[in-house]
C-alpha cells in the first residue's frame, strides 16, 4: 500500500499539451504512472506520447473510463476553472502544481471539493510519489534518479510529508542514503490555503499498513505542525513522528520563502512548533542533517523492518524482478509462497514479464496460450534442432538450448511480427480515416503485389488450425476483444474474398490476443520459448532414451506411436 497514488490509480493530465505538461507526463510514464488521458481545451482529438487528448475531463471519462487522479500543469490563472471542472466530473483527487494561484481561487476549489467529497493537493506542490509505483506531479525529477534515490517499502517504510518542494526530494534522498525505505512522499505545497496538509497526510499514513513511521519536514507559519501535535496527543496518530522544522532564524513578520511560512502575532513560531511536537512525543531534530540518523534510530527500535539490509545498501546495481532475502522470496513483490497454489503458471508468467498480476480470466487465457504452443510434433525446426543435438550425446541443457536457438523470425517469431503488422494496419485505418476492412483489403493487395506473406496467416499442415477458434473463444470469455483481434479478422475476411482463404493460424491468434491484452510485442518470442520448452525437453529425453546416437533424423518420415485421444 501507499497513500494517494499507486500503480492502479488512473491518472489524467490537464494541460498535457503545454511545455511542463508534456515533459512531466513523459517522466510520470517512465516511472510507471498509469496516465490514461490528457485534457487541453481546444486540443482534443490529438495525442501526447501516445496518450489521447480531450477537450474536457468529462469527455476523457466518457472515452477512457473513470479517472482517479488529475494532475494540473495549468497556469495559475486557469487553475480554479480546471480544478473545478475535474472535481465536477467526479475526480476525487486533483494535484495543483502551479504556483501563484490566487488565495480566493484556492478557497473556491476547497469549497467545491468539500461539496463533492473530493480532495486536492497544493497549490504550489511538486505532487506525490510512491516509490516503485507511481508519481503524480513533478516530484523526484528523472524516473531513473527517483528509482535510485527512493526505495520502496519492503515490507514497510516511512511516510514523508513536507511543506518544501525541494526538501521533499532531499529528505527522501538522505533517508535513502541511510537505508530507510519509503512508502510515499507527499509535498503539501507552500501556500497559505492548501488542500491536503500535514495533519491530513499524517492521518493517511496512520491508516496505511506499509507506513511504519512519519517523517515531517515542517516550517514556520500556519498551524499544521501544532495540529499534528494535537493528533499525536489525542492518539489519532500513534506511529512515531520524526520532524525537522525550518525557519528557526526567521524573525516575526518576515516571510520565509513560502507564502504560508509567516509568523504573525506570535503564532506559527519555530519554538512553538518544536515544543508542541516534543511535548506530544515526537522526535524533533535541531538540524536537517540529523533527520535521517534520528529516523534510523527510531526504526531500529521498532525492529528495523523499514530499513534496507546491509547487502541492499552495498548493491551497485538493482533488479526489479525477484527479491531474495533470508527466508523470503518475492516475485515482482509477491510472496512466492502465496503465489504457489493460488496463481496459475500463466498468471505467474504474466506477472514476471509485466510486473503485475493479471485478473483471473486473463490468467486463464495466458495458461491457454502456453498450452496451445507446448508442442507441435517432430517437424518444427526447434524440435529437429534439439533432437539432432541430443543425438550427438549432448546434455539435456545443450540440446534444449539448441531448440530454443532456432526460435526466430520464421519460427515462433510470427507471433511478434503479426502483432506489429496488425498494429500498422490499425494505425493505417486511423491515419487514412478508412474502415479497418478497407485498410485490411488495401494492405493485403499490397502484400500480394510485393509477394510478401502477412505473418500469422495460413499453415503448412492445417487448413483449420484447431487452436485458433479455441483461443478466440477463451479471449472473448476473458473480455479480450480489441482492435488487433478485429484487424486480424478483417484481414482473414480480405483473404477469403479473393477465393484463396488464408485463415488466422495459432501464431496470428496469439499475436492479436496478446496485443489486445496490452503486452509489449517484444515479449512475444519469449512467451513462445517459455511455452515450447516442455515439448523440447520431452523430445530430447525421448531421443536419448529411444534412439541410437548420431542417427540420420528424417524430418518427415516418422509416425506417432503414443496414445490416441487419451
Ligand X SMILES: CC(C)(COP(=O)(O)OP(=O)(O)OC[C@H]1O[C@@H](n2cnc3c(N)ncnc32)[C@H](O)[C@@H]1OP(=O)(O)O)[C@@H](O)C(=O)NCCC(=O)NCCS
Q: Which is nearer to ligand X, 106 or 126 (CB)?
A: 126
Q: Which is nearer to ligand X, 77 or 409 (CB)?
A: 77
Q: How far is the CB of 299 from ligand X (least distance, A)?
A: 28
Q: Which is nearer to ligand X, 23 or 476 (CB)?
A: 23
Instruction: Determine the Cα–Cα distance for residues 333 and 346; give it in Å rounded to an integer.
Output: 17
504 phi and psi, to 5 degrees?
A: -65, 130
Q: How far is the CB of 142 from ligand X (least distance, A)?
A: 16
Instruction: Determine the Cα–Cα distance for residues 6 and 184; give it in Å rounded to an integer.
Output: 9
Nearest to 68 by CA among 28, 44, 36: 36
| SS3 (DSSP) at 173 | helix
Q: Which is nearer to ligand X, 162 or 443 (CB)?
A: 162
Instruction: Determine the Cα–Cα distance for residues 36 and 61; give it in Å rounded to an integer.
Output: 10
Binding site for ligand X (CB under 6 A): 14-15, 17-21, 39-41, 43, 73-76, 78, 81-82, 97-99, 124-126, 165
Q: Which is nearer to ligand X, 140 or 358 (CB)?
A: 140
Q: Residue 8, Cβ neighbours under 10 Å: how many?
A: 10
Q: How far is the CB of 108 from ligand X (least distance, A)?
A: 14
Q: How far is the CB of 59 from ligand X (least distance, A)?
A: 12
Instruction: Determine the Cα–Cα distance for residues 484 and 288; give it in Å rounded to an integer.
Output: 55
Q: Which is nearer to ligand X, 21 or 195 (CB)?
A: 21
Catalytic residue among 187, 258, 484, 539: 258
Taking CB atoms, the residue at the shortest distance from ligand X is 18
Instruction: Determine the Cα–Cα distance for residues 405 and 409; give it in Å rounded to an integer.
Output: 11
Contacts of 501 (CB under 8 A, 6+ apart): 492, 495
Question: Burial level of 340, CB count in 10 A (0-12/13-18/19+)?
Answer: exposed
What burial letters (b/e) apply to 528-541, b meaning 16+ CB within 10 Å?
bbbbbbebbbebbe
Nearest to 332 by CA among 128, 69, 534, 32: 32
Q: How far is the CB of 32 from ligand X (least distance, A)?
A: 22
Q: Which is nearer to ligand X, 79 or 276 (CB)?
A: 79
Rg for the chain, CA atoms, rounded: 29
Q: Which is nearer to ligand X, 44 or 381 (CB)?
A: 44
Q: How far is the CB of 368 from ligand X (least distance, A)?
A: 43
**DSSP letters for 47-87:** EETTEEEESSHHHHHHHH---SEEEE---HHHHHHHHHHHH
Q: How far is the CB of 43 from ligand X (least distance, A)?
A: 6
At which residue does the C-alpha cell 483489403 appear? 441
Q: Residue 265, Cβ neighbours under 10 Å: how many?
A: 7
Interhelix angle 224-233/198-207, rounded to 10 degrees, is 40
258: annotated active-site residue = yes
How is residue 354 written as a grid cell? 509485466
Q: How far is the CB of 87 from ligand X (least distance, A)?
A: 13
Contact 28, 134 (CB under 8 A): yes
Q: Looking at the annotation, which residues are catalytic?
A: 258
Amino acid at each position: 500500500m501507499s497513500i494517494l497514488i499507486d500503480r492502479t490509480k488512473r491518472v489524467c493530465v490537464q494541460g498535457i499539451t503545454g511545455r511542463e505538461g508534456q515533459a512531466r507526463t513523459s517522466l510520470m510514464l517512465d516511472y510507471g504512472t498509469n496516465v490514461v488521458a490528457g485534457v487541453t481545451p481546444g486540443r482534443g482529438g490529438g495525442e501526447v506520447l501516445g496518450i489521447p487528448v480531450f477537450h474536457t475531463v468529462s469527455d476523457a471519462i466518457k472515452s477512457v473510463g473513470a479517472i482517479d487522479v488529475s494532475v494540473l500543469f495549468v497556469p495559475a490563472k486557469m487553475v480554479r476553472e480546471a480544478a473545478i471542472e475535474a472535481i465536477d466530473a467526479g475526480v476525487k483527487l486533483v494535484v495543483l502544481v502551479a504556483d501563484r494561484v490566487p488565495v480566493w481561487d484556492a478557497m473556491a476549489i476547497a469549497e467545491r471539493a468539500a461539496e463533492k467529497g473530493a480532495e486536492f493537493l497544493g497549490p504550489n506542490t511538486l505532487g506525490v510519489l510512491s516509490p516503485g509505483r507511481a508519481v503524480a506531479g513533478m516530484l523526484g525529477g528523472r524516473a531513473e534518479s527517483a528509482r535510485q534515490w527512493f526505495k520502496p517499502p519492503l515490507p514497510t517504510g516511512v511516510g514523508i510529508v513536507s511543506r518544501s518542494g525541494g526538501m521533499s526530494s532531499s529528505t527522501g534522498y538522505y533517508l535513502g542514503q541511510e537505508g530507510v525505505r519509503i512508502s510515499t512522499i507527499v509535498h503539501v505545497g507552500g501556500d497559505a490555503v492548501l488542500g491536503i496538509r500535514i495533519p491530513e497526510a499524517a492521518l493517511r499514513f496512520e491508516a496505511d499498513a506499509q507506513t511504519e513511521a512519519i517523517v515531517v519536514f515542517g516550517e514556520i507559519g500556519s498551524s499544521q505542525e501544532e495540529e499534528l501535535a494535537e493528533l499525536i496527543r489525542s492518539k489519532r496518530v500513534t506511529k512515531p513522528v520524526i520532524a525537522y522544522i525550518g525557519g528557526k532564524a526567521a524573525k516575526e513578520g518576515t516571510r520565509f520563502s513560502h507564502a504560508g511560512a509567516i509568523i504573525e502575532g506570535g503564532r506559527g513560531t519555530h519554538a512553538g512548533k518544536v515544543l508542541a511536537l516534543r511535548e506530544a512525543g515526537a522526535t524533533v531534530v535541531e538540524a536537517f542533517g540529523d533527520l535521517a540518523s534520528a529516523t534510523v534510530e527510531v526504526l531500529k527500535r521498532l525492529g528495523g523492518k523499514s530499513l534496507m539490509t546491509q547487502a541492499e545498501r552495498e548493491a551497485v546495481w538493482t533488479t526489479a524482478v525477484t527479491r531474495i532475502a533470508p527466508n523470503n522470496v518475492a516475485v515482482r513483490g509477491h510472496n512466492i509462497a502465496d503465489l504457489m497454489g493460488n496463481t496459475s503458471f500463466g498468471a505467474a508468467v504474466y506477472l514476471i514479464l509485466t510486473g503485475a498480476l493479471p485478473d483471473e480470466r486473463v490468467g486463464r487465457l495466458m495458461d491457454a496460450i502456453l498450452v496451445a504452443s507446448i508442442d507441435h510434433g517432430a517437424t518444427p525446426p526447434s524440435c529437429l534442432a534439439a533432437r539432432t543435438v541430443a543425438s550427438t550425446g549432448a546434455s539435456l541443457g545443450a540440446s534444449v538450448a539448441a531448440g530454443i536457438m532456432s526460435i526466430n523470425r520464421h519460427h515462433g517469431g510470427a507471433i511478434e511480427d503479426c502483432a506489429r503488422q496488425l498494429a500498422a494496419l490499425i494505425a493505417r485505418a486511423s491515419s487514412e480515416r478508412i474502415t479497418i476492412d478497407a485498410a485490411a483489403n488495401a494492405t493485403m493487395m499490397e502484400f500480394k503485389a510485393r509477394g510478401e506473406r502477412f505473418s500469422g496467416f495460413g499453415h503448412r499442415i492445417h487448413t483449420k488450425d484447431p487452436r485458433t477458434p479455441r483461443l478466440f473463444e477463451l479471449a472473448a470469455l476473458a473480455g479480450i476483444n480489441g482492435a488487433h483481434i478485429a484487424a486480424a479478422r478483417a484481414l482473414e475476411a480480405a483473404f477469403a474474398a479473393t477465393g484463396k482463404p488464408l485463415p488466422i493460424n495459432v501464431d496470428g491468434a496469439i499475436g492479436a490476443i496478446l496485443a489486445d491484452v496490452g503486452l509489449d510485442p517484444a515479449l512475444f518470442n519469449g512467451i513462445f520459448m517459455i511455452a515450447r520448452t516442455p515439448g523440447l525437453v520431452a523430445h530430447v529425453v525421448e531421443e536419448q532414451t529411444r534412439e541410437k546416437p548420431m542417427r540420420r533424423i528424417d524430418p518427415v518420415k516418422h509416425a506417432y506411436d503414443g496414445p490416441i485421444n487419451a
